[in-house]
Amino acid sequence: MQRVQRLLQRRRKKLTWAGMIRLIGSFVSPYVRKVLACMNLKGLAYEIDPITPFYGNDEFERLSPLRRIPVLIDGDFHTSDSSVICAYLDDAYPERPLLPADPKERARARWFEEFADTRLGDLFIWGLFYQKIVHPIVWGEPGDQARIEKTLSEDIPAALGFLESHLPAEGFLFGDIGVADISIASFFRNGAYAGFETDAARWPRTAAFVERVLGHSCFTDLLRYEDVQRSSEIKRRRQALLDAGAPLTAETLGMHEPRKGYMRL
């Protein structure tokens, strides 16, 4: 029996390295969620090593020198940064494009993606999620309360005011759902994890848009794995995800203890 299990494990490892897209990064990261949702849109099979960058080993740092997630490995190719990964996926797997066909709309879609990854990332991740969730759990220290208060009272309202004037009342930004819609909505889920709720009376378009996007099938299957990851102890998360049926890699680049670095969630 043990011999059969070893053979199956070696076979799975071979298939993983040779023919299955692998993504390294936590299910709870908005940047990882973005890439997973895009791969779901394209119908691509993948496996995931659901680590946070704090727990990445030396091999992780070799693949992602800035210690950022996600990292994509496709055969003998690897790259990091969610926008670079999504652009690669559209070039390598052009079925079900993530961007609109018109050049001007493609440029606008890329701009919304950049706005989400930079401005919304700074607010919802570094201003809220990191301060309220990651900092206490990973480092055992309180977050920056002054930054939290400024993020909630000044910075997020300004960003949502901008979105309210640009998001559609119905549907998605450029017809079918794409990377621009996915990028924006992904950060609101982390905002919710940190206790933020979009005031539908104040920002009705934004609230409705985020609900539509996060309710799309490319996101819905990911939520259960996020719930498992959020509710499990760090040292037991991998097994809990396996028990939930998550498509995990045979091996992990994660360590038992965190270390600080210059990375994004």
Would 6 be classed as within a structural domain?
yes
Assign 3-state DSSP to the chain and report helix, strand, coil percentages, each to 5. 60, 10, 30
Note whether 112 and 211 are same-domain residues: yes
User: Quick one: which of 197, 31, 253, 38 has its CA closest to 126?
Assistant: 31
Note whether 73 and 129 are same-domain residues: no
pLDDT for the residue numbered 133? 87
Note whether 61 and 135 are same-domain residues: no
Note whether 119 and 194 are same-domain residues: yes
Note whether 61 and 39 are same-domain residues: yes
pLDDT for the residue numbered 260? 67
Provide the whole-model pTM: 0.89
The tally of domains found in the chain comes to 2
> What residue numbers bound the domain in which 161 lies?
103-217
Would 158 be classed as within a structural domain?
yes
Contact 213, 185 (CB under 8 A): yes
Q: What is the DSSP string of 175-223?
A: BS--HHHHHHHHHHHHHHHTT----TTTSHHHHHHHHHHHTSHHHHHHH
> What is the token pair recorded at 222?
């990911």
> What is the token pair recorded at 201?
């009376």
Going 143 to 145 to 148 to 152, the CA torsion angle's sign is positive
pLDDT for the residue numbered 261? 58
pLDDT for the residue numbered 233? 85
Would 168 be classed as within a structural domain?
yes
Note whether 178 and 87 are same-domain residues: no
Question: Per-residue confidence of the chain (265 residues) as pLDDT tens digits?
Answer: 344 334 334 434 443 344 689 999 999 999 999 999 999 999 999 999 999 887 788 998 899 998 889 999 999 999 999 999 999 999 999 999 999 999 999 999 999 999 999 999 999 999 999 999 887 777 678 889 999 999 999 999 999 999 999 999 999 999 999 999 999 999 999 999 999 999 999 999 999 999 999 999 999 989 999 999 999 987 888 999 999 999 999 999 988 777 765 544 4
Cα 166 from chain centre = 23
Note whether 108 and 41 are same-domain residues: no
User: Which CATH number characterizes residue 201's domain?
Assistant: 1.20.1050.10
Note whether 163 and 188 are same-domain residues: yes
| 134-158 residues labelled b (16+ CB within 10 A) or e (exposed) | beeeeeeeebbeeebeebbeebbee
